[in-house]
Amino acid sequence: MSIVRHEPSKIFSKVVEANGFVFTAGIVADDISQDIKGQTKQILAEIDRLLKIAGTDKTKVVSASIWVTDIRSRDAMNESWNAWTGGQNLPGRACVEAKLADPRMLVEIAVIAVK
Amino acid sequence: MSIVRHEPSKIFSKVVEANGFVFTAGIVADDISQDIKGQTKQILAEIDRLLKIAGTDKTKVVSASIWVTDIRSRDAMNESWNAWTGGQNLPGRACVEAKLADPRMLVEIAVIAVK
Amino acid sequence: MSIVRHEPSKIFSKVVEANGFVFTAGIVADDISQDIKGQTKQILAEIDRLLKIAGTDKTKVVSASIWVTDIRSRDAMNESWNAWTGGQNLPGRACVEAKLADPRMLVEIAVIAVK
C-alpha cells in the first residue's frame, strides 16, 4: 500500500493515488465569471492535468460526481462534458443540484480513475 | 488493470468494473409517476440487474450514495431500502437532499461494490 | 476478495473494509445541539474511531465528502477539519450544501481510506 498526494492546499490534496486508484478533489473553475459551459470546460481541462500528474488519463475514469447549482443547467454542462468524453470510455456518473462554496461557481466535478 | 464498461448511454456508463470494484451510475426510476417508495424499489431492482451484469450482487455492496428531493421522505425510501437489504450485508451509506434532473424524480442511488 | 462490515445498524454499516479500501458511512454528530465547529469535531473523532476499528487511520484517508446545511458555514467547519488533519496527509475533498436527516444536523462527513 502506498499513497501519493499531489498539490496539497491547506485543506485538501487536488489528486491522490492509492492502491491502483486515483481520486481527485471536487474541482471548480478558476475563472468563475464564465457560464456553466465555460466553467465545465475549465474543470475538465484541470481534471486532465491532475489525472496526468497521477499517471492516468480520462480514458480510465470509472466514476464521476457532478454538482450543479441549478439542475436546469445540466444540458449546458453536458455540452462540455460530451465534448470532453467524445462519447468514449464513459464512467458511471451522478449529477445533482447543490450550492457550492461561492455563488458564482456553477459546477463542481470530482472523479475516480484507475491507473 | 482492466476496465469493463456496461450499457453506455451518450453521457455515462450504467456500471463500470475496474480493479476488483464495480461502480454504478446514479440510478433513477424508469416510472417516475410512482411515489418514493415505488421509485426506490425500481432503482434497487435496476441496481441488482447492473451488479449482475458486472459479475457481483447486492451482498457485496460496500458504499451507497442516496439523494432524495425531500429529506422528510427518507423513512419512506428506507422502507424499500430495508426490504432490499434484508438487514444483511449493509454498506456504508450517505443520504442527503438534492434536486434531481427531473422534478418528478424523488430519489437517485449510486453504489460501489466489490466482486 | 473479502468484505468486513463493522457496526451495522438496521440501515447501514458504519464502516466497511474491502479490497484494501475502507469506506465509512456518512457520519453525523451525536450531540447536535453544538455548532458546526463542535459537530465537525465530534464527527472527525468518530471517524478516527471507525478507521481504527477497520485497521487504518486518518493519515491514510484518500477522499472525503462533506455536506453542510449552509455553505456559508464552510469556514467554521474547516477550523475543525484543519485541526484534525494538521495540514498533513490531505485527502481529495468535495464540500457542498445539502439538507440532512435532521435540521439540527449541520454537517455530515464520509471518507474513503486505504489500509
**pLDDT (tens digit per residue) in B17-40:** 999 999 999 999 999 999 999 999
Block residue for cell numbers 456508463: B13
pLDDT band at B1 (very low <50, low <70, confident <90, very high): low
Note whether A63 contacts B8, CB cutoff 8 Å: no
Phi, psi dihedral angles at B14 (to 5 degrees): -70, -35
Sheet holding C21-24, edge to edge: C3-8, C13-18, C21-24, C107-114, C61-68, C92-97
What's the pLDDT at A41? 98
Nearest CA in chain B to A111: B23
Mean pLDDT value of segment A43-63 = 98
Which residue range is the domain that position C95 belongs to? Answer: 3-114
For chain C, the chains sharing at least 3 beta-carbon pairs closer than 8 angstroms are A, B
CATH of the domain at C69: 3.30.1330.40
Note whether A114 contacts B18, CB cutoff 8 Å: yes
Phi, psi dihedral angles at A83 (to 5 degrees): -65, -35
**C92 closest CB neighbour out of A1, A10, A12:** A12
Mean pLDDT value of segment A38-62 = 98
pLDDT band at C96 (very low <50, low <70, confident <90, very high): very high
| Coil, strand or helix at A111 | strand
- C-alpha distances (whole Å) from A62 to each of A58, A95, A100, B17, C110 are 9, 15, 24, 8, 19
What's the pLDDT at B31? 98
Cell numbers at C15, concatenated: 464502516
Q: Where are the beta strands (DSSP E) in chain C?
A: 3-8, 13-18, 21-24, 61-68, 92-97, 107-114
Q: In a 10 Å sphere around its CB, with 0-12 CB exposed, 13-18 middle and 19+ buried, how is residue B72 labelled?
A: exposed
Note whether A98 contacts B100, CB cutoff 8 Å: no
* Distance (Å) from the alpha carbon of C83 to chain B's nearest alpha carbon: 24
**B114 closest CB neighbour out of C3, C12, C98:** C3
Over the stretch C20-77, which tens digit does the pLDDT of each residue have? Answer: 999 999 999 999 999 999 999 999 999 999 999 999 999 999 999 999 999 999 999 9
Tell me which H or E stretch contains B45. Answer: helix B36-53
pLDDT band at A86 (very low <50, low <70, confident <90, very high): very high
What's the pLDDT at A26? 98
Going by the DSSP 8-state scheme, the letter that residue B26 receives in this structure is: P
Over the stretch B57-108, which tens digit does the pLDDT of each residue have? Answer: 999 999 999 999 999 999 999 999 999 999 999 999 999 999 999 999 999 9
Mean pLDDT value of segment A100-105 = 97
pTM: 0.98
pLDDT higher than 80, residue C19? yes
CA gap B60, B21 in Å, rounded: 10
Tell me the ipTM for this assembly. Answer: 0.97
What's the pLDDT at A1? 64
Beta strands B61-68 and B107-114, pairing class: antiparallel
Mean pLDDT value of segment A34-52 = 98
What's the pLDDT at C1? 64
Please provide the average confidence, as pLDDT, over all residues in chain A: 98
List the alpha helices (DSSP H) in chain C. 36-53, 74-85
**Domain count for chain C:** 1
B74-85 and B36-53 are packed helices; what angle lies between their axes, rounded to 10 degrees? 40
Note whether A18 contacts C114, CB cutoff 8 Å: yes
